[in-house]
Amino acid sequence: MKANSLQDLYLEQLRDLYDAEHQIIKALPKLIDAAQSERLKDALTEHLDVTKEQASRIEQIFDTRGEKPRAERCKGMQGIIQEGDDLIGGIKDPNVRDAAIIASAQRVEHYEMAGYGTARNYADLLDENEASQLLQETLDEEKEADETLTDLSEEINVEAEEEGGSEGAEEATEERRSSSSKKSRESRSKKSRAA
């Protein structure tokens, strides 16, 4: 599609996001199956439900405009999902695989956050207030999902770092885990102080 106005660009972004959400709905069950950590499985399962809701929000936006929702292939999301598939499929260690699932899922979230931030901004400029609200809701959910993944990574990446699972190693993991989450808590509170 050739975009000749901000309105055209806006529609193009919505169609792209609509397609991206559908790609994610298709990809998430595979990640849920591949995950070992129950907490990671639960987080991804919850995000699958949220993603279905997000796709229907875009349908709602098209509906209000009296248009049929149309998807335009989001090649960026296709690439991110493909890259994640290639990476995860080749990993045997379940802890390392979980770390890779988080890495891949966070790339997805950040890509979506960029798309929704732009679309919400266009909706504001075009005085599409209801759409702006719906897009902001999704943007907030994507941020939340990203934060959940960051929290999970604090535990899972540490487990991935240690190989094997002797008792001594488990103690070391516990120690590193608490020092790693302490560090990230400190850096987060530093950031919020700076903000």
Binding-site ranges for Fe ion (CB under 5 A): 51, 54, 112
Smaller CB separation from Fe ion, 19 or 112: 112
CB of 142 to Fe ion, least distance (A): 6
CB of 169 to Fe ion, least distance (A): 37
Smaller CB separation from Fe ion, 79 or 165: 79
CB of 77 to Fe ion, least distance (A): 10
Burial letters 83-117, b for 16+ CB under 10 A, else e: ebeeebeebeeebbbbbbbbbbbebbbebbbebbe
Handedness of CA 119, 28, 97, 185 (dihedral sign): positive
What is the rounded distance in angstroms from the CA atom of residue 31 to the CA atom of residue 105?
A: 9
Smaller CB separation from Fe ion, 121 or 184: 121
**Per the structure block, which two tokens stand in for 18?**
């609509």
Smaller CB separation from Fe ion, 9 or 48: 48
CB of 177 to Fe ion, least distance (A): 29
